[in-house]
Amino acid sequence: MSLDHRLTPEHEELRRTVEEFAHDVVAPKIGDFYERHEFPYEIVREMGRMGLFGLPFPEEYGGMGGDYLALGLALEELARVDSSVAITLEAGVSLGAMPIFRFGTQEQKQQWLPKLCAGESLGAFGLTEPECGSDAGGTRTTARLDEATGEWVINGTKCFITNSGTDITGLVTVTAVTGHKPDGKPLISSIIVPSGTPGFTVAAPYSKVGWNASDTRELSFSDVRVPAANLLGEEGRGYAQFLRILDEGRIAISALATGLAQGCVDESVSYAKTRRAFGRPIGANQAIQFKIADMEMRAHTARIAWRDAASRLVHGEPFKKEAALAKLYSSEIAVTNAREATQIHGGYGFMNEYPVARMWRDSKILEIGEGTSEVQRMLIARELGLTD
């Protein structure tokens, strides 16, 4: 396939629109939300009015009729300024709404997607458990079908769930063991649990290193009852469904990581031009120039990687390896760029009033969430035919 990733006029217009929004609306306000560990409802509402939560979904469900490339462009531009806002969009779209769009019935799509696409409601993705992270097949949450009432009865715990406890969270799609195969392996299914369902408890927000203006919680389910019709897709196909969702989500995370890496370049260039030492701007020193040149090289390469994976997805081509490559590379160079940007800023880089301090704190989770760097290397090796 062609690797020409020049943007169409429509994609470029979207990119510019989100770039302006990020600099004019997000940048002046987000630092205060971040320091207060407060979810930025007003910013999220504006993102909803812009149609960002509906970017990759058809118009019939309230979406914008765009594609995954459009979502990635929006995420990159947001993350150049702030990752908390970007991850709220990423999780709301690729983890909250996308499972319903990919695997839901027509009734489920009509019920949930319009509000999710409008940003009036947020969806969450309940996969990770306290003793089950990278080993998603080790799910311990259970769901049994009560034949007498026609309801699923869910028990278990989920952790590190983004968008799960906001005032506008509408649902969490959870994976749960609903039976066992003849060989004893668990049948994992996906079930939609609306917020406020009795027995569904949302814990207080975590105290996190970064992403402090986003919502992340632990969830518990104690005899939670939801209608049998809340099963998402086929029973026993939940694990396979979420593997597909995670493959797509890695492209989105890669776009977000690229944005953070580019934001580090932006801030470092600006600082290097204005900060003076020994009678001249520090950007006149070759050591600083080379640092920033390497940072730009990394961000540029990461951008090519995620756009390549997104293009393959949009064109219906295999993209699993390319998504893993993009996620692995972009997340690791985001950490590197954040470290270098902090070094360039010197003591000011350690002060929270400077965006690079926020970027440094936000970068590390990118090597962990939606598949650790180790998992990405495992997936890449497997796609290359290296199996045990």
| Ramachandran region, residue 224 (left: φ > 0; alpha: ψ -120 to 50; beta: rest) | beta
Mean pLDDT of the chain: 95
pLDDT of 132? 78
For strands 122-126 and 169-180, give the pairing.
parallel
pLDDT of 314? 95
Interior/surface letters 264-276, b for 16+ CB within 10 angstroms, e for the rest: bbbbbbebbeeee
Residue showing tokens 């993350």:
79
Bridge partners (DSSP) of residue 156 are 221
Tens digits of residue pLDDT in 48-83? 999 999 999 999 999 999 999 999 999 999 999 999
**CB-CB contact of 326 with 302 (8 Å):** yes
- The one-letter code for the residue type at 177 is V
Tens digits of residue pLDDT in 87-145? 999 999 999 999 999 999 999 999 999 999 999 999 999 999 998 766 767 889 999 99
Tens digits of residue pLDDT in 144-180? 999 999 999 999 999 999 999 999 999 999 999 999 9
In the chain, what are the domains? 9-122 (1.10.540.10), 124-236 (2.40.110.10), 240-383 (1.20.140.10)
Neighbours of 145 (CB within 10 A): 16
- The model carries a pTM of 0.95
Which one-letter DSSP state was computed for residue 181?
-
pLDDT at 2 over 60: no
Distance, CA of 53 to CA of 92 (rounded, Å): 7
Please indicate whether residue 340 or residue 239 has the higher confidence score (pLDDT): 340
Distance, CA of 141 to CA of 155 (rounded, Å): 6
Contacts of 195 (CB under 8 A, 6+ apart): 169, 170, 171, 172, 202
| Alpha helix stretches (DSSP H) within the chain | 9-21, 27-35, 41-49, 68-79, 83-90, 98-103, 106-117, 238-274, 286-314, 320-345, 355-363, 373-383
pLDDT of 136? 66
pLDDT of 131? 81
Q: What is the largest CA-CA distance in the chain?
A: 81
pLDDT at 387 over 80: no
pLDDT of 134? 66
Among this protein's residues, is 248 annotated catalytic? no
pLDDT of 1? 47
Q: Which of 296, 332, 340, 370 is catalytic?
A: 370
Contacts of 205 (CB under 8 A, 6+ apart): 37, 165, 215, 216, 217
- The one-letter code for the residue type at 60 is E
Neighbours of 131 (CB within 10 A): 11
